[in-house]
Amino acid sequence: MSAAGRALAIVLLALAGTALADEIKPGSAFLSPQMQRQQEDEARNPGWLWVEQGEELFDRRDGTTPACLSCHADPRQSLRGAAARYPQVDAASGKLINLEGRIEQCRVDRQKQPAFGYESQELLGLTAYVASLSKGVPLSVSAEGAAKPFYEAGKAFYQRRQGQLNLACTQCHDGLVGQKLRGDTISYGIGTGYPAYRLEWNGLGSLHRRLRACSLGVRARQFDYGSDDYLALELYLAVRAKGLALEAPGLRR
């Protein structure tokens, strides 16, 4: 290829990348119209059962343990938009944490209680409740400053071929968007609907549960819930979805 041809190819690839970024849609855009309506109907979306449980936990005071409400009065106002800013770097520790991590941090440090643990019904409920308070709020996660190394690590994870199938996230969630895979329509792979109720799980689950399922699907290593690898990837996906509205609790196949 001539120098002029190579230059033209680079320009076309750059334009294609820009177009892709402009076209990114939430996961719900790839649901059937029936499931889209069900997701938005609190009476028909099973995820709202966990939201209700989370609200009860938020208001509960056990013995001398203060309730979440003690610090976060009027949460529909005080926590509106909070979930849209996660993951973020914790100023005290310098570590990247997501919404689940912040809730666990508050439980241990402020309530002086043992952590609930990833995928516990309590943590799923509280995360779903807090996330629901920001439903409709555009994501505004930062990739600058202290978050930049984590963002770059997440981006590298997204682009790296992994597992026995030698696949990278980008091959499906950029290259095959809109195509079918086992009855599902391949989406852009962003997490605006999580925690989400998945029909295949018959229950609510975190984004990290979904990421572990993807790792298993390509026969790659499954990292622990809350691992640095999945947190970095979650940050990358959140920045990729910047400006899209939170949908939690989502409904997925």
Which residues are catalytically annotated? 214
Terminal alpha carbon distance of the chain: 45
| Number of neighbours of residue 43 by Cβ within 10 angstroms | 6
Q: Return contacts of 240-244, CB within 8 angstroms, 24+ apart.
A: 240/21, 240/24, 240/188, 240/190, 241/24, 241/26, 241/139, 241/188, 241/190, 241/191, 241/192, 242/138, 242/139, 242/140, 242/141, 243/138, 243/139, 244/24, 244/25, 244/26, 244/138, 244/139, 244/190, 244/192
Can you read off the two tokens belonging to residue 178?
A: 């809109």
| Maximum separation of any 2 CA atoms in the chain, in Å | 76
